[in-house]
Amino acid sequence: MSTPLDPPEGNWWDRPVDRRETIWLGIAGTWSLLIFGWMSAFTQTGEQNPIGTTYEIDSAEYQQRVQEYKTAATETERGLVPPGEDLYIGAMRYNWDGLPAVIETGQEYDVHLGSYDVQHGFSIRPEETLSKQINLQVLPGNEFVVPMTFDEPGTYHVMCNEFCGQGHRTMHGTLYVEEG
C-alpha cells in the first residue's frame, strides 16, 4: 500500500498538466494579482494609515523642544494643555515626557513623537476598549509628526508596545480628551 509520502511511480514530471488544473492555476493567479492590486491601492487611498512627516533630529535637540513645549503649555490638575495645535511627546525609558495632556475634541493636533534613548512603540487607545487603537514606532534621531483629531471625549491610554528594557511594563501615559 502506498502513502502520500511515497514518490509517484514513473516519469511524473514530464506529464502534461490536466486542463482542470490549468484552469484552477489561472483562477488562483488572477485572484492573487487582484488581491495584491487591491492591497496596494488601499494602502495609498485608504484612511487607515497614519500620515505625517518624519524629520531627522538629534535626540537632545528633540528633548529641548519638548521642554520648551512644556514651559509654554498651561499646567492643570489633569495635565498639560497645549499652547496651540502642537502636542509634543517624548519617549524615554520608562516614561512619556509631555504627558498627561488635556486636549479638545474636534480639533486637529500635530502630535510630535520622538525618543530620547531607544526605540519605543507609541500605542494609544480609549480607556474602555482594546479594539480602537493606533500603533506607531518612535525612533531616536527622528521626529514623527502625525496629525490627529479625536472625535470622542474620554481618557486615552498611551503605552509603549516595543520592549525597551526592564521597566517597559511601567511605561504608560494618559491623554484626556474633553468636549471642545
176 close to 78: Cβ distance less than 8 angstroms: yes
CA pair distance 120, 164, nearest whole angstrom: 6
pLDDT higher at 116 or 42: 116
Same domain, 69 and 30: no
Residue 113: which residues within 8 A CB-CB, separation 6 or more?
Answer: 89, 91, 122, 136, 138, 143, 144, 145, 146
In this structure, is residue 5 part of a structural domain? no
Q: Which residues contact 110 (CB under 8 A, 6 or more apart)?
A: 85, 86, 87, 145, 146, 147
Please give the pLDDT value at position 48: 65
For residues 35 and 63, state if they share a domain: no
Q: How many C-beta atoms surround the C-beta of residue 88 within 10 A?
A: 27
List the domain range (segments joined by +) for residue 166.
53-178
Same domain for 112 and 131, yes or no, is: yes
Query: Regarding beta strands 53-56 and 134-138, do their DSSP bridges make them parallel or antiparallel, or are they unpaired?
Result: unpaired
Least confident of 16-30, 46-60, 111-125, 154-168: 46-60
Res. 44: pLDDT tops 80: no
Rounded distance between C-alpha atoms, residue 166 and residue 157, angstroms: 20
Expressed in angstroms, the distance from the first to the final Cα of the chain is: 76
Quick check: 43 pLDDT over 80?
A: no
- What pTM was computed for the model? 0.74
Is residue 36 a part of any domain in this protein?
A: yes
pLDDT score of 50: 66
φ, ψ for residue 177, nearest 5 deg: -110, 120
Residue 27 shares a structural domain with residue 91:
no
pLDDT > 90? residue 41:
no
CATH number at residue 96: 2.60.40.420
Q: What is the pLDDT of residue 1?
A: 65
Final residue belonging to a domain, choices 27, 45, 63: 45
Question: When comparing pLDDT for 175 and 13, which is higher?
Answer: 175
Per-residue cell: 87:
502636542
Same domain, 121 and 89: yes
Give 162's DSSP letter: S
Please report whether residue 6 resides in a domain.
Answer: no
pLDDT tens for each residue of 124-150: 999 888 778 888 999 999 999 999 999
Does any domain span residue 174? Answer: yes
Percent of the chain with pLDDT over 90: 74
- How far apart CA 115 and CA 76 sit, in angstroms, is 25
Q: Are residues 25 and 94 in the same domain?
A: no
Please, are residues 126 and 156 in contact by the beta-carbon 8 Å criterion? yes
The domain tally of the chain equals 2
User: Within a domain: residue 3?
Assistant: no
Give residue 52's pLDDT.
83
Residues 40 and 72 in one domain: no
Average predicted confidence (pLDDT) for the chain: 91
Tens-place pLDDT, residues 58-99 = 999 999 999 999 999 999 999 999 999 999 999 999 999 999
